[in-house]
Each structure stands twice: as structure tokens, then as C-alpha cells.
């Protein structure tokens, strides 16, 4: 299915209070805020819930990890199985889950065959230039140190994000198509979301800030206010 942008992704990782039945009211709140504000949200649920939740929500779901079936061993999650479950995309790599250069191309190609949005993590512009050659659908630009931080680059160094967006735009001038840019790490408030979209990105998201918000609906509405565009 792939993902549509602009987008805000709520990442459950393995947080308490986001598995199984606990996920349902959270998803309902996100759906309501999405519907009422016309803002695109996606969710990366806990892996064992993936298909169960896909039956219970219209929100696009993203697999926290996956790889081509023929490379999957015991305990791995195949791209084929998450596509079959109805998810829209998959993180092929992430600051907390690095993947060898050699594994990316087969995974990106398989995503294309399965109509899954392929999301590949890069820590800097130079690495982004390399990743561009593999033609992923979406580049996740995130510094490992920014995870769960209150001092992420969105607050301390937005120019870095702007330069990253420029690099991606410039690199693709020839082909006319370019991957989407997702900036993650340290996004904690609606103000952060506004600031990161002002840098020209296509998507951002949060994990701990979303899960730990005192009032999730209030938090989500503040985020929705800051995501440009609408679902129409």
C-alpha cells in the first residue's frame, strides 16, 4: 500500500501500555484525532499484535522491522508476512537496529514487489547519498543520541535538517522522483513537530513522548495542529 505524506508516526516500540487490548484505546484516540483534524497518522505497533491490529484499525501500520523471507531465520519477521498482514510499510533499518549495507538492496526491492513503503535509516547526509542509490521510498534521518532525548537536533540544530532535505532534493534532480524524508529522534511536542516540518521534511514521529503523554488526546491534537496538509 505504501504511505501517504505529510505524516506523523506513533511508534509503540515495546512500551508498556501499548500491547494488545491496551493498544485499542490508543489507536481509537489516534483515529479520532486524525479524522477530526484531517491529519495523517500512522502507527508502528508491537510486532506480535501486527495482524490483530490490522483487523481493528484503518490507520496505516508500519512494521518495526522486517527482511526478505529467504533471509529470515527463527524469530525474524519477513516482509512477506507483514505485507500479508496488511501493513503499509516497514523500517528496514533504524538507529536501534542497524543492518548491513549488503542487506538493504534486496529488502528495498522486495518492498517494491510487495507494495510496502521501505524506510531506511541514515545518520547523516553523506550516508543519505549512498542510500539514495538504493532507491528506498523513505529515508529516516535520525541521530542515535537523539532517541528519547529532550535535546534532539530538531531543537538544537534545525539547520542540519534543512541541509539534509536539500541534499535529498538535489540528489534527485535528474530522476524527478526522490524518497520522502522522515526525521526522528527527540520530537516531544507540537512545537517540535512544527519546527521539523518547517525544515521541509515529509514525516516525523515520536515514541516515548507519545506513549508517556499525560493526556494522549491533548498531545495528539497539538501534534496534529503542527502537521501540514490534510487527509482530503
Binding site for a second copy (CB under 8 A): 11, 13-14, 16, 19-22, 46-52, 55, 63-65, 69, 72-78, 80-82, 84-85, 87, 91, 93-105, 120-124, 126-127, 129-134
Q: In the 8-state DSSP scheme, what is residue 203?
A: E
Q: In the 8-state DSSP scheme, what is residue 138?
A: E
CB of 201 to a second copy, least distance (A): 19
Cell match 501493513: residue?
A: 87
Decide whether 38 or 48 has the Cβ nearer to a second copy. 48
Q: Please, are residues 77 and 46 in contact by the beta-carbon 8 Å criterion?
A: no
Q: Please, are residues 85 and 1 in contact by the beta-carbon 8 Å criterion?
A: no
Distance CA(184)–CA(206), nearest Å, equals 7
Q: Please, are residues 41 and 8 in contact by the beta-carbon 8 Å criterion?
A: yes
CB of 228 to a second copy, least distance (A): 26
Decide whether 77 or 222 has the Cβ nearer to a second copy. 77
Q: Please, are residues 185 and 95 in contact by the beta-carbon 8 Å criterion?
A: yes
**Contacting residues for 57 by C-beta, under 8 A, at least 6 apart:** 27, 31, 43
Decide whether 74 or 232 has the Cβ nearer to a second copy. 74
Decide whether 172 or 191 has the Cβ nearer to a second copy. 172
Decide whether 20 or 228 has the Cβ nearer to a second copy. 20
CB of 106 to a second copy, least distance (A): 9
What do you get for the CA distance between the two ends of the chain, in Å? Answer: 18
CB of 180 to a second copy, least distance (A): 18
CB of 90 to a second copy, least distance (A): 10
Amino acid at each position: 500500500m505504501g504511505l501517504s505524506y505529510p505524516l506523523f508516526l506513533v511508534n509503540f516500540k515495546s512500551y508498556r501500555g501499548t500491547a494488545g487490548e491496551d493498544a485499542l484505546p490508543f489507536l481509537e484516540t489516534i483515529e479520532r484525532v486524525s479524522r477530526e483534524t484531517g491529519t495523517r497518522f500512522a502507527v508502528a505497533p508491537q510486532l506480535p499484535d501486527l495482524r490483530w491490529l490490522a483487523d481493528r484499525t484503518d490507520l496505516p501500520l508500519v512494521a518495526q522491522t522486517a527482511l526478505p523471507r529467504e533471509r529470515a531465520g527463527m524469530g525474524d519477521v519477513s516482509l512477506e508476512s507483514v505485507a500479508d498482514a496488511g501493513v503499509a510499510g516497514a523500517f528496514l533499518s533504524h538507529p536501534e537496529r542497524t543492518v548491513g549495507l549488503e542487506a538493504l538492496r534486496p529488502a528495498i526491492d522486495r518492498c517494491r514487489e510487495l507494495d510496502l513503503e521501505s524506510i531506511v535509516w541514515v545518520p547523516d547526509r553523506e550516508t543519505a547519498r549512498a542510500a539514495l542509490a538504493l532507491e528506498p521510498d523513505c529515508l529516516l534521518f535520525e541521530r542515535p543520541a537523539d532517541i528519547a532525548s529532550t535535546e534532539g537536533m530538531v531543537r538544537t540544530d534545525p539547520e542540519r535538517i534543512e541541509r539534509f532535505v536539500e541534499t535529498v532534493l538535489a540528489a534527485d534532480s535528474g530522476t524527478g522522483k526522490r524518497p520522502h524524508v522522515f526525521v526522528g529522534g527527540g520530537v516531544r511536542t507540537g512545537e517540535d513537530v512544527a519546527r521539523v516540518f518547517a525544515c521541509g521534511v515529509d514525516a516525523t514521529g515520536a515514541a516515548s513522548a507519545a506513549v508517556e503523554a499525560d493526556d494522549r488526546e491533548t498531545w495528539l491534537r497539538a501534534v496534529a495542529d503542527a502537521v501540514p496538509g490534510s487527509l482530503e
